[in-house]
Amino acid sequence: DCIILYDGQEVAQIPSVVLSQFSQGSSNYLLSCDETQSTLQFVLYLINGEHPTTSAKNVLAGKSISLDKNAYAFEMISNGKIGTFVVDKAITSISQSVTLDNIFSFNQSIYTLVDGKLLRDDSALLDGVKHVFYHSQGLVCFVSSGDAFSAYLVNDKGTSLLAKNVLLTDFILDGEFFYYFGGDTVSHDLFVSSPSGDLALLPNCDTSLEIICASGDIAARRVDDQV
């Protein structure tokens, strides 16, 4: 049983909550086993304020799909068939055949990744997409470009190119500055891209360590002298 506390007081209790979902990070939604069913099915609760509310029943699986945790994708038995849905302020049916890992939400817009195409509704925004990452400014998408990637920012304002010749998916997007690893197969170098162009910052980086960003300062480690 999961006890919901609000302002230090117990306000609700949800039975048969699946503990493994807490290892996936925080979410405003919670899956509870429906003990009345003969097969494993869940009730989806929205945890918001004092009173948890039921968002859906007959749920088979679910996943948080937005950075702010307000959007949730789930598979549900509806009219005798298994369908895929997204709940934000309302429940939306997903028409494409897509797994939960390939559904994304930003600013209440729903994106799906189908056969390498990033779609918003039924409109294709990018093709050849290999990786999608959440960011406070939108979705950062890595598109295959030969032996490297081209990185794009996708949000409700449109699609914008961040950088070309990106070798790894490690990045920092800080305002208009996009920090990434470029170079070649011998040396991975730290670059920054902005509207004024690309600038090489540090050669021959140790890419086993992540780029570190704090208060506008960027740090990476160089292999040769371990600075």
* Residue 215 to residue 207: CA distance in whole angstroms: 22
Q: Measured in whole angstroms, how far is the alpha carbon of residue 200 from the centre of its chain?
A: 28
| Tens-place pLDDT, residues 52-62 | 899 999 999 99
Q: Which residue ranges in the chain fall short of pLDDT 70? A: 49-50, 225-227
The mean of the pLDDT values for the chain is 91
Residue 101 in 3-state DSSP? helix
pTM over 0.95: no
* Cα atoms in the Cβ-side hemisphere of radius 13 Å centred on 165: 13
Tell me the residue type at 179. Y
Q: In what order do the strands lie in the sheet with 171-174?
A: 171-174, 177-183, 188-194, 197-202
| Tens-place pLDDT, residues 169-223 | 999 999 999 999 998 878 899 999 999 999 999 999 988 888 988 887 899 988 8
